[in-house]
Amino acid sequence: MFIDAMGLILGDNKKITLGELSKPRALSAIPFGGRYRIIDYMLSNMVNSGIKNIGIHTYTKYKSLMDHLGTGSSWDLDRKNSGGLHILPPYVNSEATSVQGDEEMAGLLDFVRSSNASYVIMAASNVILNTTFTDFVEDFKACGADISVMYNRDGTKFGGPNYILDIDRRGWVKDMLFNPEKSGLTKSSMGIIVLRRELLIDLIAEMMARGTNHVGIHSFVKKYDTLRVHAYEYKGLVLRINSVQSYFNSSMMLLNNQIRAELFWNGMPIFTKVKDEAPTLYSDDCKVTDAIVSDGCRISGNVTESILFRGVAVSKNCTIKNCVIMQDVHISDNCYLENVILDKNSVVRPGIKLVGHKDYPVVIGKGAIV
């Protein structure tokens, strides 16, 4: 499988904030699904499509993202010759200055110009799916569009920010609405587009000339009045991370066998950074039901309908229900947690009770002591 395309993933989204979860890291670096980061899914989709030259466009708070991605070896992108994984932070070259305000754009333009690929697949960092882009690119070439955008029929069920497309019978985009309250339309952009590399170079150069200092997927889709923008419907599973609520709900959806099978066991692997951990240790008196538990955990209490990342310690007489517990969290004796998100390296002291609502979970920040 090979696509004559390069990949570009926007590592963050200035319109999306997840409170304490996104405070120390970019959106794409937020842990999701037991042992993954959000970016692992889109990066794996591109690798599984045969794309070997991928750039990660960052804005701020990209240290965690860089630590996770490393050289790209976990995705077979640590290449000696052309291609590979490229992290594109601001101020990547001498042409980018804060006076010009184009520090985000200059490095992106350099990266796109350096490739010989015919097409560019650009993707946002808040969508989680398992697919390949072969059919998407073939449909783009067949319809003769300038830009193709991928959408599904989620409507506004994942909340905002949300871009709703108005599409004619032939699949051409004729309007786009941002966070409409009542539109009657359900075709929601997934923030994934494909276009010719030369056109992207021209569009970025034009944006820089006009003083635009931020690039977004939908700034290109908005050009439906001057360019031919075609819509491609995706009918598979899509999870969107737009808020703390949608992050928590999407995480809990992974406990559904059918959803988990479609996301992880459809024939295409999701790659992530490899960490060698010992198997989870379960004590004789613990009870674990309907939970995802990663390697390296130590379980001595009760865990129900929860997701535990690597290295979590659940002590005696604890009850964990409907929670997302990230890496290396220690939960002391006699604690009760329900509808809680605990970021990595947190500590819950003995006897603590934390109860949130399923629509408004309690969020404890990275490294906190409760």
Is residue 186 within 8 Å of residue 150, measured between CB atoms? no
Domain boundary among 264, 297, 321: 264
Residues 114 and 257 in one domain: yes
Domain boundary among 264, 291, 326: 264
pLDDT at 234 (0 to 100): 96
Give the range of the structural domain holding residue 55, as residue numbers without chain letter: 5-264
Q: Which residue, among 199, 11, 46, has the nearest Cα to 113 in the 3D structure?
A: 199
Residues 260 and 285 in one domain: no
pLDDT at 272 (0 to 100): 95
For position 351, which CATH number holds?
Answer: 2.160.10.10
Greatest alpha-carbon span in the chain = 67
Residues 315 and 340 in one domain: yes
Q: Which residues of the chain have pLDDT under 70?
A: 1-2, 91-104, 183
The model carries a pTM of 0.93
Total count of domains within the chain: 2
For position 205, which CATH number holds?
Answer: 3.90.550.10
pLDDT at 255 (0 to 100): 96
pLDDT at 25 (0 to 100): 93
Let me know if residue 144 belongs to a domain. yes
pLDDT at 99 (0 to 100): 39
pLDDT at 1 (0 to 100): 58
Residues 73 and 180 in one domain: yes
Let me know if residue 276 belongs to a domain. no
> Distance between CA 158 and CA 161 in Å, rounded?
9
Tokens found for residue 117:
């690929």
- Return the C-alpha torsion angle 337, 343, 344, 348, nearest 10: -30
Rg over CA atoms, the chain: 21
> Distance between CA 50 and CA 9 in Å, rounded?
15
Let me know if residue 271 belongs to a domain. no
pLDDT at 266 (0 to 100): 86
